[in-house]
């Protein structure tokens, strides 16, 4: 019965936004409509335990009075006018309390990039198709004496922005995603991918491959402590690249003088590392503009290893001034729950390199292959150090081939330190979602580098553990 | 007083009409159905050094319908624009269930008698009625105090409030109406200098702290004065000696203990996770159903309890999000695993007791097992007495980084501050303290927990599920003494 339509017809979404702009008694107004119709088939073992069909819609109004901004939002269309007035009241109160002009602004219209956002194959990726894939995974796991758990989904994401300065833009984008963990006798494997096109996932093949890798991962030995040459699969590599905004490629940090962007032009990674935020790329989750209606720009973080610039929104672009992107927002405004609004890199992309993953492995005499990291957290922003554990389908590499599977291993590692050691880049890019980021994705190829340390910090000489 | 006379769903009777209309669609088509109709409003004000403050008010109202058709789940959710949305959601839920029939093994829910009732958070001062200028003046003072030292180059402070009408009904006859209100605040200061970046936070390093209370809770925090200390300590950390590596006795402060409970106890005890439902996303658990009742999880000093009936906490309620009445459950009893946090599906599947821990972020999400108010039972004595008992070691508090493996087995935490302790007295401030361990070994090394006078309560947001949702819960803890802990691991 699902029609796979956006929560609001595009014309209606723009009409709602533009009417709210008119209904808001403020100096300047920005209205953002976010909609999402998501369908998710979630399964574990022999059960589809969470088949879901979720429609969400939010109308958010930013009102500015004497340069002071406030926001109000609602999910109820019949409350939009009231919400616009509430935003104006809040902003007026803020302006009165401040006593001096603030700095808030709304964006101005600009040309939008042409992107391929709608895919008919995803529109046809209905519950029946997703259930069939879930069944394939569950049966595949069971047939080898294991268990599969995962989620196959599709969504339609909608964004419309209207401002009192004349912006009136709308986009709707299909999204297909899949993830899977297969466990067989202690061996595990994981697959995750997302794309605007469901066909691009090649989910059936990915499911079968995950079952095979889980089988190969049986009989895991403990991860040995020490420094290793590692080959990070696309998901593990992507997880590392996802920390780049946290170590300085964000306008908020740059404006505070913290992190790697305080040293633009410096070499901080291998020449093989070119990565940035690229909402215009054909991978991940491209989208033409941000919550403020600002057209998205490609933002280079590391260009052949050299430090580029941070992502910004209107506020941080103004704070950074002309020296960073000419004082213009790069189109990365973001608002997350329980967090301070800040510019967010939502489509981090590292292009593929020339080397098949198998050849990356073949070039390692002794090392470790890591498919997936788990529970990674920033430890030291200045040093770009993170901690976490390896998980799923990790293997020792011996004489250029995958050898014994290894269990979870804890690591503490400088992200930039590792990127500085990279001497090989895989030829396949895979995407994964980013938590707590609207339309957020990281896409990466496999990476080979050295000096990756598993185990705890070495004890001082003479001390036992 | 209560402070819930707002919004479209303040009226329990009107909400029941919508619930009944959704249930009527499922009647005869599903063997079980439940409906959650929720209206929520959040108010947030954040101030950041060098940026305009951000104030926002967010309203949401929607309905989520869950059905069982031929033993197969279906769920649909949508915003409520008018009465037809309830029926539309129910029809979509039936369709999602039917699509899975034949592929999914049948669900058996734990039996539960119909339960109806009403619950409201008691508050003294409605935070939504507090004038915006009062909120801003407080944050202005907090930010000014925290940034007195020039080295504090980044700081943020915020206050928040959330109110919700949660109405739940099911095909078994339960009709429940809960009206919640929460208030919270937080402060974070980052100092830069001497080639280092260091941070301090208050009152909880994880998104501030939140209580089921009104604006009166903010007054108890003494934010303005604490901000002076927070800023100064962030700066002091820049030049503090590095914390050592090795093995040591450690007294862990209440905030860090609360996160330890959350990561290595709360999550590990979720029954849906134990059964494998979260294997792909949030992870599994080192515990199994067979462990319940016998497995040693910690020392005799460790008793962990789930009790959502304690008012004032972020994990308090009268009914969980699938309608199970709140109850007190001892999860770890003097070191022995006694029970898990469960929902009806997981309890029915495994034969375990139903403890009422099915919780969801809102109408758009399915209830899953989240902690309630899960706390470490206090022991005896003051923090100073605990330090004296330790003798030589370290006192640490306020989480800085956290990581634990997918089985909730191998963990590593860093704290914002650490102090040397010699002969029971606090000495030098140290930076970059970290410790690691294995969950049951760690809890097995707990020698003592401080008394009720040291107990503090922390509200948390928590992530789980696909699509990911926030769970809102709480943990209380007093400082505890752990022997022979591996430190300096990161």
Q: What is the pLDDT along chain B (490 residues), one digit of tens a residue?
A: 776 789 999 999 999 999 999 999 999 999 999 999 999 999 999 998 888 889 999 999 999 999 999 999 999 999 999 889 999 999 999 999 999 999 999 999 999 999 999 999 999 999 999 998 899 999 999 999 999 999 999 999 999 999 999 999 999 999 999 999 999 999 999 999 998 999 999 999 988 999 999 999 999 999 999 999 999 999 999 999 999 999 999 999 999 999 999 999 999 999 999 999 999 999 999 999 999 999 999 999 999 999 999 999 999 999 999 999 999 999 999 999 999 999 999 999 999 999 999 999 999 999 999 999 999 999 999 999 999 999 999 999 999 999 999 999 999 999 999 999 999 999 999 999 999 999 999 999 999 999 999 999 999 999 999 999 999 999 999 999 999 999 999 8
Q: Which residues of A touch B80 (CB under 8 A)?
A: 76
Across the interface, which of B8, B49, B76 has its CB nearest the CB of A53? B76
Supply the pLDDT for residue A462: 47
Average pLDDT over residues A13-38: 98
Chain B's closest residue to A154, CA to CA, is B467
> Residue B490: which of A190, A412, A435 has the nearest Cβ?
A412
* Residue B140 parent element (H or E): helix B132-146
SS3 letters across A243-283: CCHHHCCEHHHHHHCCCHHHCCCCECCCCCCCEEECCCCCC
Q: Are A433 and A441 in contact (CB under 8 A)?
A: yes
Whether A249 shows a pLDDT value over 90: the answer reads: yes
Containing B480, the helix (H) or strand (E) segment is strand B480-487
pLDDT of A123 > 90? The answer is yes
- Give the model's pLDDT for residue A2: 57
Cβ of residue A221 closer than 8 Å to a chain B Cβ: no
Q: Chain B 287-326, CB below 8 Å of chain A: which residues? A: none
Beta carbons of B489 and A456 less than 8 Å apart = yes
Half-sphere exposure of B157 (CA within 13 A, CB side): 26
Give the model's pLDDT for residue B164.
97
- Residue carrying structure tokens 């004296």: B388
Q: What is the pLDDT of residue A464?
A: 45
H or E element at residue A169: strand A168-184
Q: What is the dihedral of CA B261, B265, B266, B270, to 10 degrees?
A: 180
Those of residues 3-62 in A touching chain B at CB distance below 8 A are: 7, 38-58, 60
Rounded to the nearest angstrom, the minimum Cα separation between A7 and chain B is 9
Give the pLDDT of residue A465.
39
Which of B57, B154, B463 lies at the smallest CB-CB distance from A90? B57
| CB interface of A with B, residues 234-263, below 8 Å | 253, 255-258
Lowest-confidence segment of A111-115, A454-458, B199-203 by average pLDDT:
A454-458
Contacts of A94 in chain B (CB under 8 A): 53, 55, 132, 136
Pick B401's closest partner by Cβ from A126, A341, A377.
A377
pLDDT score at B174: 98
CB distance A103–B52 less than 8 Å? yes
Chain A residues inside the 8 Å CB shell of B131: 93
DSSP letter for B298, please: S
What is the Cα–Cα distance from A355 to A445, expressed in whole angstroms? 10
Local structure of residue B242 (DSSP, 8 states): B
Q: What is the largest CA-CA distance in chain A?
A: 73
- Residue A225 phi, psi dihedral angles, 5° rounding: -75, 150
Residue B60 to residue A375, Cβ atoms within 8 A: no
Residue A354 to chain B, least CA–CA distance (Å):
31
**Predicted confidence band of residue A98 (pLDDT cuts 50, 70, 90):** confident
User: 188-217 in A: which are within 8 Å (CB) of B?
Assistant: 190
Determine the Cα–Cα distance for residues A271 and A416; give it in Å rounded to an integer.
Answer: 12
pLDDT at A459: 56
**Mean pLDDT (whole number) for A256-274:** 94
Smallest CA–CA distance, residue A65 to chain B, in Å, is 12
Residue B3 confidence (pLDDT): 66
- Contact of B99 with chain A, judged by CB distance below 8 Å, is answered with yes
Q: How many CB atoms lie within 10 A of CB A283?
A: 21
Q: Which of B466, B468, B473, B484 has the highest number of chain A CBs within 10 A, making it the mutation to test binding with A? A: B466
Position A130 scores a pLDDT of: 98
pLDDT of residue B344: 97
Instruction: Tell whether B466 is within 8 A of chain A (Cβ).
Output: yes
E strand or H helix at B385 = helix B383-390
Q: Work out the pLDDT band at A309, boundaries 50, 70, 90.
A: very high
Judge: A44–B54 Cβ closer than 8 Å, yes or no.
no
Does any CB of chain B come closer than 8 Å to the CB of residue A357? Answer: no
Q: Which two tokens mark A191?
A: 């697959």
Which residue in chain B has the smallest CA separation from A76? B81
**pLDDT recorded at residue B207:** 87
Residue B231 CA to its chain's centroid (Å): 27
Q: Look at residues A156, A160, A153, A151 and name the one whose alpha carbon lies nearest to residue A127.
A: A153
Residues A317-365 pLDDT 10s: 999 999 899 999 999 999 988 788 899 999 999 999 999 999 999 999 9
Question: How distant is the Cα of A54 from the closest Cα of chain B, in angstroms?
Answer: 5
User: Which residues 177-206 of B have a C-beta within 8 angstroms of A?
Assistant: 190, 192, 195-197
Beta-carbon separation of B436 and A57 below 8 A: no
| A320 token code pair | 């950074």
The answer to whether B479 and B385 have CB atoms below 8 angstroms apart is: no
**Distance from B402 to chain A by nearest Cα, in Å?**
6
How far apart are alpha carbons A214 and A392 in whole angstroms? 8
How far, in Å, CA of B344 to CA of B353, rounded?
9
Pick from B49, B153, B280: CB nearest A150: B280
Q: Are A372 and A390 in contact (CB under 8 A)?
A: yes
Residue A389 φ/ψ, nearest 5 degrees: -130, 155
Residues of A whose CB is below 8 A from B54: 69-71, 340-341
Distance CA B117, CA B114 (A): 10
Residue A134 contacts B where some CB pair is shorter than 8 Å: yes
Question: Of the candidates A51, A71, A387, which has its C-beta nearest B56's C-beta?
Answer: A71
Cβ contacts of A153 on chain B, cutoff 8 Å:
466-467
The label of the residue with tokens 């409970």 reads B261
CA distances from B220 to A206, A301, B403, B455 (A): 54, 44, 31, 15
């Amino acid at each position: 019965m699902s029609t796979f339509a956006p929560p609001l017809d595009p014309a209606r979404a723009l009409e709602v936004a533009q009417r709210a702009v008119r209904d808001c008694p403020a100096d300047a107004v920005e209205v953002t409509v976010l909609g999402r119709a998501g369908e998710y088939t979630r399964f574990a073992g022999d059960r589809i335990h969470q088949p879901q069909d979720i429609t969400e819609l939010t109308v958010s109004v930013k009102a500015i009075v004497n340069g002071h901004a406030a926001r109000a939002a609602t999910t109820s269309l019949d409350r939009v006018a009231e919400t616009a007035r509430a935003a104006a009241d809040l902003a007026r109160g803020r302006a009165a309390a401040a006593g001096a002009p603030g700095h808030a602004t709304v964006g101005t219209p600009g040309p939008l990039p042409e992107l391929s956002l709608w895919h008919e194959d995803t529109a046809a990726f209905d519950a029946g198709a997703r259930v069939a894939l879930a069944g394939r995974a569950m049966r595949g796991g069971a047939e080898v004496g294991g268990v599969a758990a995962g989620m196959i989904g599709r969504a339609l994401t909608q964004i419309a922005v209207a401002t009192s300065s004349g912006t009136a833009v709308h986009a709707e984008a299909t999204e297909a995603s899949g993830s899977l963990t297969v466990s067989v006798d202690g061996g595990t494997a994981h697959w995750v991918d997302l794309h605007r096109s469901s066909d691009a996932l090649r989910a059936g093949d990915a499911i079968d491959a995950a079952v095979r890798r889980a089988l190969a991962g049986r009989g895991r030995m403990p991860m040995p402590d020490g420094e290793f040459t590692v080959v990070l699969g696309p998901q593990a590599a992507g997880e590392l690249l996802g920390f780049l905004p946290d170590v300085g490629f964000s306008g908020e940090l740059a404006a505070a003088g913290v992190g790697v962007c305080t040293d633009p032009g410096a070499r901080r990674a291998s020449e093989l590392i070119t990565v940035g935020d690229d909402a215009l790329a054909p991978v991940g989750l491209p989208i033409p503009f941000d919550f403020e209606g600002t057209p998205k720009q490609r933002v280079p973080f590391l260009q052949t290893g050299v430090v580029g610039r941070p992502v910004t929104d209107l506020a941080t672009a103004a704070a950074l001034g002309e020296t960073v992107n000419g004082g213009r927002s790069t189109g990365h405004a973001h608002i997350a729950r329980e967090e301070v609004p800040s510019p967010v890199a939502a489509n981090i992309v590292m292009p593929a390199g020339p080397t098949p993953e198998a050849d990356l492995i073949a070039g390692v005499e002794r090392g470790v292959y890591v498919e997936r990291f788990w529970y990674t957290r920033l430890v030291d922003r200045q040093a770009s150090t993170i901690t976490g554990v390896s998980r799923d389908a990790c293997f020792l590499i011996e004489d250029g081939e995958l050898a014994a599977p290894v269990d979870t291993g804890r690591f503490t590692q400088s992200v930039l330190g590792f990127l500085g050691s990279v001497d090989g880049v895989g030829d396949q890019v895979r995407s994964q979602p980013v938590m707590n980021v609207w339309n957020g994705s990281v896409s990466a190829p496999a990476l080979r580098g050295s000096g990756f340390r598993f185990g705890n910090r070495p004890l001082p000489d003479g001390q036992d553990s | 007083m209560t402070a819930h006379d707002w919004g479209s769903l303040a009226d329990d009777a009107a909400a029941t009409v919508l619930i009944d209309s959704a249930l009527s669609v499922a009647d005869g088509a599903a063997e079980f159905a439940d409906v959650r109709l929720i209206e929520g409003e959040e108010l947030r004000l954040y101030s950041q050094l060098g940026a305009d403050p951000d104030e926002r008010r967010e309203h949401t109202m929607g309905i989520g319908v869950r059905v069982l058709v031929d033993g197969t789940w279906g769920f649909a959710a949508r915003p409520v624009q008018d009465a037809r949305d309830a029926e539309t959601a129910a029809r979509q839920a039936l369709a999602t269930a039917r699509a899975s029939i034949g592929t999914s093994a049948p669900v058996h829910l734990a039996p539960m008698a119909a339960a109806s009732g009403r619950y409201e958070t008691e508050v003294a001062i409605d935070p939504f009625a507090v004038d915006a200028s009062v909120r801003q003046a407080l944050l202005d003072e907090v930010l000014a105090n925290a940034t007195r030292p020039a080295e504090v180059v980044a700081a943020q402070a915020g206050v928040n409030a959330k109110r919700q009408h949660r109405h739940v009904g099911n095909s078994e006859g339960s009709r429940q109406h809960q009206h919640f209100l929460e208030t919270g605040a937080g402060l974070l200061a980052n100092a830069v200098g001497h080639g280092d970046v260091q941070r301090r936070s208050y009152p909880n390093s994880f998104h501030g702290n939140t209580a089921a209370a009104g604006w009166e809770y903010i007054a108890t925090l003494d934010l303005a004065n604490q901000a002076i200390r927070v800023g100064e300590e962030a700066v002091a950390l820049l030049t503090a000696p590095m914390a050592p590596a090795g093995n040591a006795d450690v007294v862990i402060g209440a905030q860090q203990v609360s996160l330890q409970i959350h990561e290595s106890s709360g999550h590990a005890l979720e029954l849906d996770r134990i059964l494998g439902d979260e294997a792909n996303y949030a992870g599994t658990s080192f515990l199994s159903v067979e462990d319940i009742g016998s497995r040693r999880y910690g020392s005799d000093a460790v008793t962990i309890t789930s009790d959502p009936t304690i008012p004032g906490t972020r994990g308090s309620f009268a009914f969980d999000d699938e309608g199970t009445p709140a109850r007190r459950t001892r999860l770890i009893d003097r070191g022995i695993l006694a029970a898990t946090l469960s929902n009806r599906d997981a309890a029915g599947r495994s034969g375990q007791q139903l403890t009422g821990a099915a919780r969801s972020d809102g109408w758009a999400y399915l209830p899953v097992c989240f902690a309630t108010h899960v706390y470490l039972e206090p022991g005896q004595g003051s923090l100073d007495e605990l330090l004296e008992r330790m003798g030589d070691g370290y006192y640490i508090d306020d989480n800085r980084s956290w990581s634990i493996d997918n089985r909730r087995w191998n963990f590593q935490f860093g704290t914002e501050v650490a102090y040397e302790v010699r002969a029971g007295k606090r000495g030098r401030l140290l930076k970059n303290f970290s410790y690691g361990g294995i969950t049951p070994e760690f809890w097995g090394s707990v020698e003592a927990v401080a008394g009720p006078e040291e107990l503090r309560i922390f509200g948390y947001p928590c992530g789980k599920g696909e699509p990911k949702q926030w769970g809102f819960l709480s943990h209380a803890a007093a400082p505890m003494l752990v022997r022979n802990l591996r430190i300096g691991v990161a």
